[in-house]
A and B are shown apart, each in its own frame.
Chain A
């Protein structure tokens, strides 16, 4: 209060100069304003209350066990008048623990529990699906690993973990380890996008070179929305004559182990990484199981793909340039003629739902931070299918662009964000506007709106064009 009082008494105190005057033209006395000898009553520092006890961080740092987390309430409202509804009312409890075994080893575990009450509130006439349990409620194990330092330059991490590779913030090109959460395009924050997997990661550093070897022992596939969901992954196939089973993921067996290698060279102003991987594809294809009770039955399955890629970032002034490219071997791509194959009476074992194709992925991007407290990011990705055939369900060249602008205001207590995804010329857009306000250290509120736009009925995003929604998230960290 004393601080405020001081200003009320002296609205333009001589102790603090008016910055509207050109400082280059100021006289000596004017420049010294605010720092008169002894400061007296004009000392701008005199009323700054710094009465916060200094915590002994060495104690906190050395404590072996730590627990933290957050509670969050997520709510979404779909406002398109033909399908207006409360689409999410989801409390989430996230708990994270760390145990420092000794100087070289630590263990971490985290997980979350959630329950989406919107399914109950709106169930009677809005939700008709039967496979929504995973989206409605659950208890999920996130990280669970042991991390160790083996000497100065070797390290190991064993267990469920996230290993983020690649320079792109948005696209999955050389970022081949973790599957993604694809349940709500445009609504999943980047921090929630990667899903942890059971893996062994060995790292070594040799001056400017680093090597990471990863073996993958779990293949959950990217998370996709089920039947009845607003963002049903197979929405274009849903009709009474088709049944799609729960996805069938590979086992933990030795023969299903995935392997990935990354070699990175860092240099002044940039780095370059070479990635090679033999892993399971994160996205499923549909295997045809035959007709049962007059209904065509399919099962989502996963197959291996080989990836060979390069990723690089380079800083120049206020710009960060990024490039990524990868050659994908034997990607299973759905055919668009499998229903006609089935209709023609072909035996189930002869129906070809997919085709193995090689692909080239390429991405170029720039991140610009030359404007104070503003970050601009643009990435353009191309997916080229080699030896493209007309029966494939994808175009020979597909394009997707990402643009994000993030502005920090009021000493980073308010963040405004625009995120725009533009898919194939004419296919559609996802535009998200949001603001996050840190009310105090532990409590933040995020609110925003997401638009899905598409006029091309053949595009992947078209089924979601009426899914526009507003959202609010209240998060308390502890």
Chain B
């Protein structure tokens, strides 16, 4: 089962040469699948600045190192927090399996405890380290659990042609999907020229919130389309509650990464 690796582990990438002309009148699912299977390199390393902004415009800033490696259709990723001081050396690692039967494996290393803890990762609706991104935004969702339809087959956004695709959990698995992801419905703006997700709107079950997603600073890195800035805003009844910005730098694709990076020992040892 394919997953949409939207945020940290995958940034937002799309293959060179894939254009809207490569698929004649695709269905909404085909568009989403194309987005999901776009080229994102076999490995990826980035430095990430996570800016958390509350409604009083006070900012909290985290510096993060992301490392990701594909193993066929499976993915291993590890995230190290470099600052601020109170979270420094915190590490999160996940093995995401393509096989639907397999549960994803996740671990958290808390330096204060000096202990690696396996964590249950089924519920992905929780906030990722206090941000507006959830674990499902980071680890991805099962696209086969969602039903996709076009809201608009042509929508010019910032001068670029996009598909607007609505996603609803399939009725058979609706409760499970909503429980796991926290989302009642999603709307995605997907660029036709490179299949990048550039905007999103997410209806959140808890607290009747709506979240808005935007990808910015889109450019090619190592020949792969990459969004270098991602923003997620959480609103309640039309008012912004909180927002999070991820800024990526030192993005490197397809560099050799040792398998030993993705071990609990590596989490303990830190960078």
Contacts and interface: CB of A to CB of B under 8 A. Distances in A.
Most buried by B among A13, A38, A54: A54
A13 B179 contact: no
B164 A32 contact: yes
Contacts of B49: 52, 54-55
A412 interface: yes
B105 A28 contact: no
A60 B47 CA distance: 11
Given A57-B47, A155-B265, A203-B265, A18 B158 contact: no
A370 to B, nearest CB: 5
Contacts of B265: 155, 203, 205, 210
Contacts of B158: 38
Interface stretch (A215-223, A315-323, A454-462): A315-323
B260 A205 contact: yes
B208 interface: yes
Nearest to B53: A48
A448 interface: no
Nearest to A2: B57
Contact of B168 (A24, A191, A444): A24
Interface in B214-254: 214, 229, 231, 233, 235-240, 242-243, 245, 247, 249-250
A125 interface: no
Interface string A436-475: 0010111010000000000000000000000000000001
B142 interface: no
A372 B126 CA distance: 5
Given A13-B238, A17-B238, A24-B185, A57 B249 contact: yes
B269 A35 contact: no
Contacts of B29: none
A61 interface: yes
B86 A441 contact: yes
Contacts of B263: 205
Contacts, number: 225
Nearest to A190: B113
A288 B115 CA distance: 39
B122 interface: yes
Interface string A123-153: 0000000000000000000000001010011
A61 B82 contact: yes
B184 A23 contact: yes
Contact of A19 (B112, B203, B231): B203
Chain B binding surface SS class: strand
Nearest to B118: A313
Interface stretch (A232-240, A267-275, A347-355): A267-275
B157 A37 contact: yes
Given A20-B208, A45-B233, A190-B113, A31 B239 contact: no
Contact of A372 (B54, B123, B131, B166): B123
A18 B212 contact: no
Interface residues of B, number: 90
A412 to B, nearest CB: 3
Interface stretch (B16-24, B30-38, B59-67): B59-67
Given A31-B187, A315-B121, A372-B125, A49 B57 contact: yes
Given A24-B185, A205-B263, A411-B131, A52 B113 contact: no
A371 B263 CA distance: 28
By Cβ-Cβ distance, the 3 closest A-B pairs, closest first, are A412-B130, A191-B112, A164-B115
Given A1-B57, A315-B120, A371-B123, 20 more contacts: A16-B210, A19-B209, A35-B212, A45-B231, A57-B82, A147-B269, A153-B260, A163-B114, A190-B113, A194-B114, A269-B102, A315-B118, A369-B123, A373-B126, A408-B126, A412-B129, A412-B130, A413-B130, A438-B60, A442-B84
26 contacts: A17-B238, A19-B210, A23-B185, A28-B151, A28-B152, A50-B51, A54-B49, A57-B82, A58-B47, A152-B260, A155-B269, A269-B102, A269-B105, A315-B105, A315-B119, A316-B103, A318-B120, A369-B123, A370-B123, A372-B123, A372-B125, A372-B127, A372-B182, A441-B86, A442-B86, A444-B86
Interface of B: 47, 49, 51-54, 57-61, 63, 65, 82-86, 88, 95, 97, 102-103, 105, 110, 112-115, 118-123, 125-127, 129-132, 151-152, 155-158, 164, 166, 168, 179, 182, 184-185, 187, 189, 199, 201, 203-204, 206, 208-210, 212, 214, 229, 231, 233, 235-240, 242-243, 245, 247, 249-250, 258-260, 263-265, 269, 271
